[in-house]
């Protein structure tokens, strides 16, 4: 038995003497530049940013960076309005490279937020980009219509005023507005009934004493409006108006160049139930 223990002890000493400690050499970090604090080069936003709605993998910001040395990198923003963006990966080549940062968090407020993007292992510089957060389609509220037969949803940030205080159109009375829900679209509508005070349920058109109006701003910033003639060309029917919301329908014809153009769009099947501000 003593011989067995002695053999084991000798074996351990032999293997310990022959064992070498192997250490991994860390991969050198990348060296790259973002800019000098101004707007991030080529910053392109993707996804919709809706208050109280968690960001997903579709919420990204794409930027361009100048890489002087390939290798691993980590780029991140500060946290603004409950959101942050980051990316960890490896630059395989030098030169101008594209980086896609993915957002996380939950937007807190309806606002335009400016983010500072910094190189956590780069050249120590930074750049900025901004994101506008909108109000989503609230439960039981909506603002939809067909434009030349194409369904459109203008439920983003949809809201109304109905009082002597001018709304977003600059006129008192009933004013309803909403933004297109299509990703990256800037289209919006603003319509209502001009009146010195709030309006009650009823039928209103563009030729009546209490006039109805409608403005559609497309993605090219062209404004399409009602072209008033001797015959009503636009009608708004208010079916319910209380201290919480307004409800009704709308339809008619609008023209480019704020109603003075030659081209027209048919607005049909318009329907709204919109909260009051």
Q: Please report the pLDDT score of residue 136 as a whole number.
A: 65
In whole angstroms, give the CA distance from residue 168 to residue 191: 9
* 109 — pLDDT class (breaks 50, 70, 90): confident
Query: Beta 31-33 vs 142-147: how paired, if at all?
Result: unpaired
Helix, strand or coil, per DSSP, at residue 225: strand
Instruction: State the residue for tokens 């509508």.
Output: 189
The mean of the pLDDT values for the chain is 85
Give per-residue pLDDT as tens, 34-88.
866 678 888 888 888 888 788 999 899 999 888 988 989 888 899 999 999 999 9
Decide: pTM greater than 0.85.
no
Strand partners, 87: 75
How confident is the model over 94-123, as a mean pLDDT? 86
How confident is the model over 17-42, as a mean pLDDT? 69
Percent of the chain residues past pLDDT 70, beyond the cut? 86
Q: Please report the pLDDT score of residue 6 as a whole number.
A: 47
Q: Is 181 left (phi over 0), alpha (psi -120 to 50) or beta?
A: alpha
Q: Does residue 4 register a pLDDT over 60?
A: no
Q: Please report the pLDDT score of residue 184 as a whole number.
A: 83
Least confident residue range of 6-20, 40-54, 259-273: 6-20
* 13 — pLDDT class (breaks 50, 70, 90): very low
In whole angstroms, give the CA distance from residue 63 to residue 39: 10
Helix, strand or coil, per DSSP, at residue 9: helix
Q: Please report the pLDDT score of residue 25 as a whole number.
A: 59
Domains located in the chain, CATH noted: 31-132 (2.60.40), 142-275 (no CATH)
In whole angstroms, give the CA distance from residue 50 to residue 114: 16
Q: Which residues contact 10 (CB under 8 A, 6 or more apart)?
A: none
In whole angstroms, give the CA distance from residue 234 to residue 231: 9
Q: Please report the pLDDT score of residue 232 as a whole number.
A: 80
Least confident residue range of 31-45, 65-79, 100-114, 224-238: 31-45
* 2 — pLDDT class (breaks 50, 70, 90): very low
- The answer to whether the CB of 251 falls within 8 A of the CB of 267 is yes
Q: Please report the pLDDT score of residue 41 as a whole number.
A: 80
Least confident residue range of 97-101, 117-121, 254-258: 117-121
């Amino acid at each position: 038995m003593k011989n067995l223990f002695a053999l084991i002890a000798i074996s351990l000493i032999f293997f310990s003497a022959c064992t070498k400690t192997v250490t991994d050499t860390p991969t050198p970090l990348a060296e790259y530049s973002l800019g000098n604090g101004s707007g991030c080069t080529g910053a392109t936003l993707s996804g919709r940013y809706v208050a109280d709605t968690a960001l997903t993998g579709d919420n990204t910001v794409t930027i361009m960076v100048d890489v002087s040395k390939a290798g691993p990198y980590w780029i991140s923003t500060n946290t603004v309005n409950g959101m942050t963006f980051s990316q960890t990966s490896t630059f395989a080549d030098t030169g101008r490279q594209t980086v896609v940062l993915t957002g996380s968090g939950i937007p807190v407020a309806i606002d335009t937020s400016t983010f500072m993007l910094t190189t956590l292992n780069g050249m120590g510089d930074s750049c900025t980009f901004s994101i506008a957060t909108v109000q989503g389609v609230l439960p039981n509220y909506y603002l939809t219509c067909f434009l030349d037969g194409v369904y459109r949803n203008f439920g983003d940030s949809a809201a109304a005023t109905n009082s002597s205080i001018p709304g977003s159109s600059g006129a008192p009375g009933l004013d309803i507005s909403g933004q297109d829900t299509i990703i990256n679209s800037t289209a919006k509508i603003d319509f209502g009934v001009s009146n010195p005070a709030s309006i009650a349920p009823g039928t209103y058109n563009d030729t009546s004493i209490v006039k109805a109006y409608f403005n559609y701003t497309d993605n090219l910033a062209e404004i399409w409006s009602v072209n008033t003639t001797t015959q009503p060309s636009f009608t708004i029917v208010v079916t319910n108006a209380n201290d919480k919301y307004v409800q009704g329908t709308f339809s008619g014809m609008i023209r480019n160049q704020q109603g003075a153009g030659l081209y027209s769009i048919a607005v049909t099947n318009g329907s709204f139930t919109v909260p009051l501000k």
